[in-house]
Amino acid sequence: MLKVRNLKTYFYTQRGTVKACDDVSFDIDHGRNLGLVGESGCGKSMCCLSLLKLIPPEGNIVSGEVLYKGRDIFSMDNKELRKIRGNKISMIFQEPMTSLNPVLSVGEQMTEAVLAHKDINYGEAKALSIELLNKVKIDRPKNRFNEYPHNLSGGMRQRVMIAMAISCRPDILIADEPTTALDVTIQAGILELLDELQNEYNMSVLIVSHDFGVIARLADRVAVMYAGEIVEYAAAEDLFKNPLHPYTKGLLSSIKQIDKRDKRLSTLKGAVCELDNLPKGCRFSPRCDLASSECREALPGLKEISPGHFVRCVKSG
Pick from 19, 44, 117, 245 the residue near other proteins by CB under 8 A.
Answer: 117
157 binds other proteins (CB under 8 A): no
Pick from 18, 21, 34, 91 the residue near other proteins by CB under 8 A.
Answer: 91
119 binds other proteins (CB under 8 A): no
- Residue 162's nearest CA partner among 106, 213, 214 is 106
Q: Which C-beta is closer to other proteins: that of 164 or that of 313? A: 164
Pick from 1, 28, 47, 100 the residue near other proteins by CB under 8 A.
Answer: 100
236 binds other proteins (CB under 8 A): no
60 binds other proteins (CB under 8 A): no
Pick from 86, 155, 178, 250 the residue near other proteins by CB under 8 A.
Answer: 86
Pick from 15, 70, 78, 277 the residue near other proteins by CB under 8 A.
Answer: 78
Pick from 7, 21, 113, 173 the residue near other proteins by CB under 8 A.
Answer: 113
Pick from 23, 27, 65, 112 the residue near other proteins by CB under 8 A.
Answer: 112
Please report, as residue ranges, which positions from 26 to 55 form the binding site for other proteins (by CB under 8 A).
49, 52, 54
Minimal distance, residue 112 CB to other proteins, in Å: 7
CA 127 to chain centre: 30
178 binds other proteins (CB under 8 A): no
Pick from 9, 87, 158, 209 the residue near other proteins by CB under 8 A.
Answer: 87
263 binds other proteins (CB under 8 A): no
The CB-based long-range contact list for 194-203 (8 Å cut-off, 24+ gap) reads: 194/162, 194/218, 197/135, 197/136, 197/162, 197/166, 197/173, 198/31, 198/33, 198/173, 201/166, 201/169, 202/30, 202/31, 203/31, 203/166, 203/169, 203/170, 203/171, 203/172, 203/173
129 binds other proteins (CB under 8 A): no
76 binds other proteins (CB under 8 A): no
Beta bridge partners of 90: 173
Minimal distance, residue 76 CB to other proteins, in Å: 12
Contact footprint for other proteins (CB under 8 A): 49, 52, 54, 56, 78, 82-87, 90-91, 93, 95, 98-105, 112-113, 116-117, 148, 150-151, 161, 164
